Amino acid sequence: DSLQALAKLHKKDPAGELVVALKRQDAASEDSAAGALSELGELLASQPAAALAAQRSTCEQLALNGKRELSRQIAFGALVTIDQSFDKAEKLAEQNPQRLADLMAAAVRVPDGKLRATIFPRAAALVRESDASVRRAAMGALPNLPGHEAETLEQLTRCVREKIEPEAAIAALDQLPRGDWSAATAGPVADSLVVYLATLSIKQRTNATARTATALATSLLGRLPTSEGAALRRRLDDLAVQIVKLGTVRENMRFDNSVVVVSAGWPVKIEFHNTDNMPHNLAVATPSSLADVGMAADALALKPEARERNFVPDMPQILHATRLLQDGESDSLTFVAPKQPGTYPLVCTYPGHWRRMYAALVVVPDRAAYLKSHSQLASAEKLLGLPEFTREYTIEDLVPSVTSLKSGRSFETGKMWFTTASCSSCHQIKGQGGNIGPDLTEVAKRYKPQEILREIIDPSAVINEKFAAVEILLNDGRTVRGVIAEQNPKQIKLMPLGLTPGVCEPIVVARADIEENGITKSKISPMPKGLLNVMQQEQILDLLAYVLSGGDPKNPVFH
């Protein structure tokens, strides 16, 4: 309707209006042009050949000189429709590999199936063309040329087996309808896919092409005789890579999956995505080494090379580690699982995080058998020998006990939990600990016990302006986060969340590099929620007593 109205407004025919719009989008610099071009191309393909004929000259110029690949392909498709033949378009393109590739890719944009089918002999011949872009484009065209399915299948299968642009061949195979494939047809295809997968490294076996090849081969197994299908399944299983997706729980300093089970000696890929407001990494450590790794990470944080090392200590107990990820970033680890069964800690080694941010990688002889016999998995804490989750406390649960906090508390237990719960990573008591958050030595002079409790349970309810995190959007599209350590009219110095000023160098951002209105104060506290969830109520009272006493063992609260 919009096209018809616009053509009427400009006193043009719809085909002419579309060609003008295509030229305009082809010249546009915005990334959104690709989406607009695709829809305009569909509209152009729906125009009758007679209506398009008047635009032949413009389409030819766009096909030969268009800035965008998609523009050229749309124009070539229109030329084929105008001429009702590929011959003239091919003469325009045959001396230039790029144009020939554009023409092959344009085949899918020709709505007449019979007309598309006429290019099959040329496309089949170009599959072995010396230019890689032409080969790939020809392979992509083959599944869209009706009446040649059997020949296309044979051609693409041979390309996979001989590794002639296998990625393009597998993508094209996946487009072919499989409704009437027989065992005689499916067998060679599945076998060629397994042969291809066997040539890949473990890391390559997790890419998009390998996943498509695995899924396609798996879908064909049921069409094969039992013995042949079982043998192919065993070969496919031997090549399988277990893919584990691991994320974060926002504001909680936790992984979103606490127990991961894998088979010993099998390839594994862990895809880690950080959606938290703090930076995190992921390290795989040897059994029973969580505390050693964590304390080494805390020690590393005091050294200037910590950030360059992504806060990962150099020690034999760490088997694999990602880079440090900011909010919204991802990284992955691809490795062969240890042959020795056991529980291997997965841990974030960013300063102070290891005490809360961990998971259990359970390595067993047979993952499927283990999961079948363990309908309910043990907690990560039990598997790693750590205190288990107790409950999700509310302020109402604890206020009655906190207001009567006068004596009988344990100084040693309170001090231990001040460290174990990662409080000391950001707060100081008597000069010990980090100073990214307020000093708590004399906190009892400023706040009542129930107010301190509220800060711990709901840290984002009220955020101290001095310690609020900020997000800064830069002109190049990057975002940096941290607490402002120092600023002047020319620059801002940010301390990364969780790190102490004076220990690691701040991030320096020039104000000239910041987008207009690009500084935003975060509404989320750097302090995570759920710090108390692994404690018994008596332990929480000991922790609060330690904080309220300012770390003084002689305080009456410990009498």
Q: State the average pLDDT over residues 439-457.
A: 87
Q: Report strand pairing: 248-249 vs 358-364.
A: unpaired
pLDDT digits (tens, 9 = 90+) for 192-203: 999 999 999 998
Per-residue model confidence (pLDDT) at position 218: 93
For the segment 483-528, what is each residue's pLDDT rounded down to a tens digit? 788 889 999 988 766 555 555 567 889 999 998 888 888 777 767 7
Distance CA 305, CA 310 (A): 9
Nearest to 381 by CA among 534, 252, 529: 534
Q: Which amino acid makes up residue 3?
A: L
User: Where is mean pLDDT largest: 29-43, 211-225, 406-420?
Assistant: 211-225
Looking at residue 365, its pLDDT comes to: 95
Predicted confidence band at 319 (pLDDT cuts at 50, 70, 90)? very high
Most confident of 276-280, 411-415, 455-459, 521-525: 411-415
CA of residue 451 relative to chain centroid, distance? 39
Tokens standing for residue 53: 């004929």
Residue 120, pLDDT above cutoff 60 = yes
Give the pLDDT band of residue 555 (cuts 50, 70, 90).
very high
| Contact indicator for 244, 226 with CB cutoff of 8 Å | no
Average pLDDT of 118-136?
92
- Residue-level pLDDT at 29: 74
What does the pLDDT average to over 181-194?
91
Token duo for residue 161? 């087996």
Tell me the C-alpha distance between 403 and 214, whole Å: 62
Report which of residues 93 and 484 the model is more confident about: 93
**pLDDT tens, residue by residue, 263-305:** 999 999 999 999 987 889 999 999 999 999 998 988 887 787 8
Identify the pLDDT of residue 495: 76
What average pLDDT is seen over the chain?
88
Residue 503 pLDDT? 52
Q: Identify the weakest region by mean pLDDT among 249-253, 309-313, 387-391, 405-409.
A: 387-391
pLDDT at 94 over 90: no
* Rounded Cα–Cα distance for residues 541 and 406 (Å): 10
When pLDDT is averaged across residues 251-272 and rounded to a whole number, the result is 92
pLDDT of residue 499: 55
What does the pLDDT read at residue 436?
64
CA–CA separation, 419 and 412 (whole Å): 11
pLDDT at 533: 77
State what percent of residues in the chain have pLDDT above 70: 96
pLDDT at 31: 66
Percent share of the chain, pLDDT over 90: 57
